[in-house]
Amino acid sequence: MPERQTEVCRTGFMNHLTTETFDANARAALADVQLRGALRKATTLFGKHRLAATRGLENWEELRTQARAIKDEVLLHLDQYLAQFAGNAEKRGAQVHWARDAAEANQIVCRLARERNARKVVKSKSMVTEEIHLNDALQAEGIEAIETDLGEYIIQLAGETPSHIIAPAIHKTKKQIAELFTAKLGIEPTDDVAQLTSAARRVLRRRFAAADIGISGVNFGVAETGTILILENEGNIRLTTSLPKTHIALMGIEKILPRFADLDVFLKLLPRSGTGQQLTTYQSLITGTKQKPEDEGPEELHIVLLDNGRSRMLAHPVTRQSLACIRCGACLNACPVYQQIGGHAYGSVYAGPIGAVITPQLIGLGKAAQLPYASSLCGACREVCPVKIDIPELLLYLRAEITEGGRQEAGGRSSRQAVKQHISERLAFKIWAAVMARPRLYEWSARFGRGLQRFIVRDGTIGKVGALLTRLAPPLGAWTSARDLRPLATRTFREQWRGELANQNREVKS
């Protein structure tokens, strides 16, 4: 997967974002007040809805454990389940294609389109097609690809890339979308959501009717039956997969479930974790092609199974768990880093905590060495993950890989920066641990720090000059560039405690 170059012209906070410029991207995002407002509102709402939905299910924890066990079983025997899935899908009329990487997947889709003289395709939201940059490949063939999910359609009109797995246009405010529709669709300016959606619907309905091919992603593939399941709320997937004569479904090889009955577990987890719904409005279960003229569905179904680095993740028990991800987006909404900077800063189609572990494994640590450090390791992602992926463990594993140079690509500037940052962090924590382990030294340091801060503290807060100084002073500047420095307490807890004991003793004596 080549790293992505993105232009975010509307908000103007970033240009040419790549995985290698994460630090700069993040700084630019932090300075964008509008972006942060939109993110705060959306992620808070998603978080609240998720919590309400999960509390309504008594056996939530049990389901999470069950889901993880199913995923672990699949990943241990992935070759067998994939062969079973392909065999059963082909028995029902589907054609299965195997793609080792993004280039091969794009070639397969473009060849299928060429063979059918296709000029127009409709696409439903699919992270895998974003991962392989399928739209660019189709465009190079002179084929027009139209996104039909409303969020994806908005960002396609804006010339951007998705910034969230579930809500691609999460970074946009209603006002920005209204202005975009006026500029691109020529509608009267309005901020009425119903009018905006109906303007998009009018355009998209015509596109569905004219499309030669429908392209979709896949949420789950069932080995037992060869069925694919795609979830949605807008009805656009139903139309994409049933109106055009040919349907091409792109699916990462990790999306397999062994049995049809396993869907019961994942259908309870995914909508609740993603949008806080008990179930999405539509669930399209597609098993092969239509058999009789009166049946619904495509005459041709092609399923492209994509590896693109996933086999590498399978090889190690720690990295293997990355493939259990069901792309619900809950970890993004819960992540304090994502909440502040949004998805574009990651420079990759996969953002947030799961993006910080998947992207470096897909494109190589050398090209994405800053991403595993884009975390405070607070563990919020692990808490919310419906399949119990231990993302902090993965982040630490990847950091260790970077510093030890296990898979580091030689000479990468970003890798060197990450190593430098890691070394200075380790040194800082070593000093911190040494001070904390020696009570006298700790007290002396606190007194020394309080003495020093007299020059920069005014009325109990760090004054403007002080803030500027701390921002400039390396390595403290790296911390204070995005955070406010608080002054040290005038008395430490230990001093207060000693004072309290002295008072009590005095009271006892008197």
Pairwise CA distance, residues 44 & 311, whole Å: 35
Kindly tell me which of 177 and 330 has the beta carbon lying closer to ligand SF4: 330
Token pair belonging to 320: 């293997």
Kindly tell me which of 21 and 273 has the beta carbon lying closer to ligand SF4: 273
Token pair belonging to 455: 């020059």
Kindly tell me which of 118 and 335 has the beta carbon lying closer to ligand SF4: 335
Kindly tell me which of 14 and 218 has the beta carbon lying closer to ligand SF4: 218
Task: Determine the 3-state secondary structure of 264 from DSSP.
Answer: helix
Least gap, CB of 259 to ligand SF4 (angstroms)? 20
Kindly tell me which of 86 and 165 has the beta carbon lying closer to ligand SF4: 165
Kindly tell me which of 127 and 478 has the beta carbon lying closer to ligand SF4: 127
Token pair belonging to 35: 């972006």
**DSSP code at position 257:** E
Pairwise CA distance, residues 364 & 405, whole Å: 12
Task: Determine the 3-state secondary structure of 386 from DSSP.
Answer: coil
Least gap, CB of 8 to ligand SF4 (angstroms)? 23
Kindly tell me which of 273 and 339 has the beta carbon lying closer to ligand SF4: 273
Kindly tell me which of 150 and 326 has the beta carbon lying closer to ligand SF4: 326
Least gap, CB of 350 to ligand SF4 (angstroms)? 9
Least gap, CB of 113 to ligand SF4 (angstroms)? 30
Pairwise CA distance, residues 348 & 358, whole Å: 10
Least gap, CB of 273 to ligand SF4 (angstroms)? 6
Least gap, CB of 274 to ligand SF4 (angstroms)? 8
Kindly tell me which of 156 and 273 has the beta carbon lying closer to ligand SF4: 273
Q: Which residues of 91-129 are buried (b: 16+ CB within 10 A; e: fewer)?
A: eebbebbebeebebbbebbbebbeeeebebbbbbbbbbb
- Which of these, 270, 258, 328, lies nearest to 75 by C-alpha position? 258
Token pair belonging to 188: 């009267």
Please check whether residue 20 is in contact with residue 417, taking contact to mean a CB–CB distance below 8 angstroms: no
In the β-sheet with 120-123, what is the strand arrangement from edge to edge? 95-99, 300-306, 246-252, 213-216, 120-123, 144-147
Token pair belonging to 325: 């991800």
Kindly tell me which of 252 and 412 has the beta carbon lying closer to ligand SF4: 252
Least gap, CB of 393 to ligand SF4 (angstroms)? 12
Pairwise CA distance, residues 493 & 485, whole Å: 19
Please check whether residue 338 is in contact with residue 35, taking contact to mean a CB–CB distance below 8 angstroms: no
In the complex, which residues of this chain contact ligand SF4 (CB under 6 A)? 165, 273, 325-331, 354, 384-387, 389
Least gap, CB of 196 to ligand SF4 (angstroms)? 28
Q: What's at 502, amino acid-wise? A: A
Distance linking the first and last C-alpha atoms of the chain: 77
Least gap, CB of 269 to ligand SF4 (angstroms)? 8
Crossing angle, helix 33-55 and helix 22-30, to 10 degrees? 90
Crossing angle, helix 78-91 and helix 60-76, to 10 degrees? 90
Kindly tell me which of 319 and 421 has the beta carbon lying closer to ligand SF4: 319
Q: List 252's β-bridge partners, or say none.
A: 306
Least gap, CB of 327 to ligand SF4 (angstroms)? 5
Pairwise CA distance, residues 233 & 149, whole Å: 9
Least gap, CB of 357 to ligand SF4 (angstroms)? 8
Task: Determine the 3-state secondary structure of 40 from DSSP.
Answer: helix
